[in-house]
Amino acid sequence: MEAAEVRATHGQYTAAAYHYWRSNRNAKAIQIWYPNRNGELLRGQADAAFAVFGKISQHGLSKSEGKALALIQAELYKLQGELTQGCALLEAQDC
């Protein structure tokens, strides 16, 4: 958790999300990364983000966090050329 807070303080949101995920704080990983996703993607963090968010499931998330996760995953799938998987996530979440 400490590493996540330090990374977030320094604007390293993908690294922060990774540490939150490793600390079983999936909702916090989503909350820190979602509003900062465009900047992180521009910084070339798509693969690292996919390594984190591709492993997070909807289980235990609130409805809004589940939708944010679906949007994150769909966008990351799109960047990898996997449009079908991204669309399926969005349809399952009714986004």
Q: What residues contact 55, with CB distance under 8 A and at least 6 apart?
A: 21
Q: Where are the beta strands (DSSP E) in the chain?
A: none
Q: What is the pLDDT of residues 40-81, one digit of tens each?
A: 999 999 999 999 999 999 889 999 999 999 999 999 999 988
Q: What angle do CA 88, 61, 34 make, to 5 degrees?
A: 70
| 20 vs 93, more confident | 20
- CA dist., res. 91 & res. 47, Å (int): 23
Percent of the chain topping pLDDT 90: 76
* Average predicted confidence (pLDDT) for the chain: 92
Reading the block at residue 88, the tokens are 């399926």
**Average of per-residue pLDDT across 4-23:** 96
Residue 95: its pLDDT value, please?
58
Residue corresponding to tokens 């977030």? 8
Q: Model-level pTM greater than 0.85?
A: yes
